[in-house]
């Protein structure tokens, strides 16, 4: 019996998260008398989940190599501000491209320090978190950027978070697309095999001829782009952004990844789990709002969940690695 469970868990690290999703969905639906499952709530929940998940996917890829990226909150802020700031001037298409390029740039800075100079990623991304948070505040100097009516009608704006397709926010479609692409890259392609290998044992990967430096650099660029995209999608949905946009999101993104079964030590991640992790965090948030509980309980619950997810994960790993 235990061997069977161990086998199941070994092949499907997101199994625990799936169970949790089912459990909380049922509980929330019953406790709220169905209103948690209302179309309105599910629409907003899916948009919130998508934005967090896109950021968390990038985080998961970085975590896969045994690094961490805590700059993603600031990067999403820069992405949002660039998108909304430039869209009225140069159109939302170029605005979006510029936002993504900033993501590449910041991710690239992180990557250079981590991969080429060998500085611990926690410190590097802590540094860029501060650096670009300050720049975000300075750029807006206390005001917020809002999308004009002209911008709101533009196709790109609607296609990237500002509009809906069949009642579903376009951000959700992007999240699912990115999930599919990353899932294939990480688990079905050589680059993914090498990425996970680095997280498992960088020295061994190097001895097998894996270009450790290049892959480490690459994951930070991917994380930067996804964080910037996440910020742009969310800003388009909300319609305005100020200097504090994205602040604190890095912690939710890490929480989603951990909740989804990604090991902070590297080498083992689940992207589907990460999506579900984001869903759980956002689900709890919307549940608390519907219940009329102070929304701040959410923060407390996230704290508990992170630690409990860590403990559960620990137990599962021990079970899995038993010979």
Partner 1 sequence: MRKLLKRPDLGIIIGCLFIFALFTLYDPAQWFNWGTVSNIGEYTAILGLLAIGQSFVVLIREIDLSVGSVYGIVGIAFVGLENNNVSDVLAFVLAMLLALLVGLVNAALVIRGKLSSMIVTLGGLFFYRGLIYIITHGAVTGVPQAVRQNWFAQLLGGHSLRIQNGFLLLLILGFLCAVTLHETRFGNHLLALGGDPASAESRGVPLGKVRTIAFALCSLFAGLSAIVTLTNDPETSVSLGTGMELEAIAAVVVGGTLLTGGRGTMLGTILGSFFLTAVRSEIIALGAPPSWYVSFVGIALLTLVTINTLLLKRLRISG
Partner 2 sequence: MITGSDGQSRPAGSPKKPLISIKNVGLSYGNFQALTDVSVDFYQGELVGLVGDNGAGKTTLIRIISGIIPPTSGEVYFDGERIIKFHPKKAIDLGLECIQQAIGLCDNLSVGRNYFLGREPVRRILGLPFLDKKKIREASAKVVHDFGLRDSVDVDDEIALLSGGEKQTFKIARAVTFRNRVIIMDEPTNHLSVRERTRVNELAVQLKQQGLLVIYITHDIFQIHRIADRIVILENGRKVTDVPRDAMSAEALEGIIRDGSRTSTKEPKVS
Residue 167 has φ and ψ, to the nearest 5°, of 80, -5
Between residues 27 and 204, which has the closer beta carbon with respect to partner 2? Answer: 204
Residue 178 binds: one of partner 1, partner 2, none (C-beta under 5 to 8 A by kind): none
Query: What minimum distance in Å lies between the beta carbon of 61 and partner 2?
Result: 15
Hey, CA dihedral for 71, 212, 64, 171, is it positive or negative?
Answer: positive
Query: What minimum distance in Å lies between the beta carbon of 97 and partner 1?
Result: 24
Please state, in angstroms and rounded to a whole number, the distance separating the CA atoms of residues 58 and 172: 16
284 Cβ contact partners less than 8 Å away, ≥ 6 residues apart: 24, 298, 301, 302, 305
Check: CB of residue 31 under 8 Å from CB of residue 192: no
3-state secondary structure of 145: strand
Residue 144 has φ and ψ, to the nearest 5°, of -125, 155
Residue 177 binds: one of partner 1, partner 2, none (C-beta under 5 to 8 A by kind): none
DSSP bridge partners of 240: 146
Between residues 177 and 211, which has the closer beta carbon with respect to partner 2? Answer: 211
Q: Does 82 bind partner 1 (CB under 8 A)?
A: no
Q: Does 202 bind partner 1 (CB under 8 A)?
A: no
Check: CB of residue 319 under 8 Å from CB of residue 10: no
Please spell the DSSP secondary structure of 176-197, one letter per residue.
HHHHHHHHHHHHHSHHHHHHHH
Tell me, residue by residue from 131 to 150, as one string, x for binding to partner 1 by CB under 8 A and - for no binding: xxxxxxxx--x---------
**Segment near partner 1 (CB under 8 A); pick from 111-119, 143-151, 154-162, 227-235:** 111-119
**Encoding tokens for residue 110?**
């992180």
Q: Does 118 bind partner 1 (CB under 8 A)?
A: yes
Residues 255-284 that bind partner 1 (CB under 8 A): 255, 258, 264-265
Query: What minimum distance in Å lies between the beta carbon of 322 and partner 2?
Result: 9
Please state, in angstroms and rounded to a whole number, the distance separating the CA atoms of residues 59 and 63: 6
Residues that bind partner 2 (CB under 8 A): 10-11, 184, 188-190, 192-194, 196-197, 199-201, 203-211, 266-268, 320-321, 323
Positions touching partner 1 (CB under 8 A) are 68, 113, 117-120, 122-124, 126-138, 141, 243, 251, 254-255, 258, 264-265, 294, 296-307, 310-311, 314
């Amino acid at each position: 019996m235990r061997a069977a469970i161990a086998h199941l868990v070994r092949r499907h690290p997101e199994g625990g998260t799936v169970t949790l999703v089912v459990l909380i969905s049922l509980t929330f639906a019953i406790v709220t008398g169905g209103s948690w499952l209302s179309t309105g709530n599910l629409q907003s929940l899916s948009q919130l989940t998508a934005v967090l998940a896109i950021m968390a996917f990038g985080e998961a890829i970085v975590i896969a190599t045994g690094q961490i990226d805590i700059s993603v909150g600031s990067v999403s802020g820069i992405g949002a501000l660039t998108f909304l700031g430039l869209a009225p001037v140069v159109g939302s298409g170029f605005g979006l491209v510029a936002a993504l390029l900033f993501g590449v740039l910041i991710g690239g800075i992180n990557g250079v320090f981590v991969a080429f100079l060998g500085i611990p990623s926690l410190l590097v991304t802590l540094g860029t978190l501060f650096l670009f948070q300050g720049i975000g505040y300075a750029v807006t100097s206390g005001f917020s950027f809002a999308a004009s009516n002209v911008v709101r009608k533009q196709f790109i704006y609607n296609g990237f978070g500002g509009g809906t397709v069949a009642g579903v926010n376009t951000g959700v479609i992007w999240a699912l697309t990115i999930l599919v692409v990353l899932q294939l890259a990480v688990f079905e392609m050589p680059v993914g095999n090498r990425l996970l290998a680095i997280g498992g044992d960088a020295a061994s990967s190097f001895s097998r001829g894996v270009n450790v430096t290049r892959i480490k650099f690459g994951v930070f660029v991917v994380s930067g782009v996804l964080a910037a995209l996440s910020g742009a999608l969310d800003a388009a949905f909300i319609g305005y952004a100020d200097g504090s946009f994205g602040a604190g999101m890095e912690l939710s993104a890490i929480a989603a990844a951990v909740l989804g079964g990604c090991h902070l030590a590297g080498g083992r991640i689940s992207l589907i789990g990460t999506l579900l992790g984001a869903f759980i965090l956002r689900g709890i948030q919307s549940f608390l709002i519907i219940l009329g509980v102070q929304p701040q309980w959410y923060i407390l619950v996230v704290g508990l969940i992170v630690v409990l997810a860590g403990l559960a994960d620990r137990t599962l790993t021990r079970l899995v690695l038993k010979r």
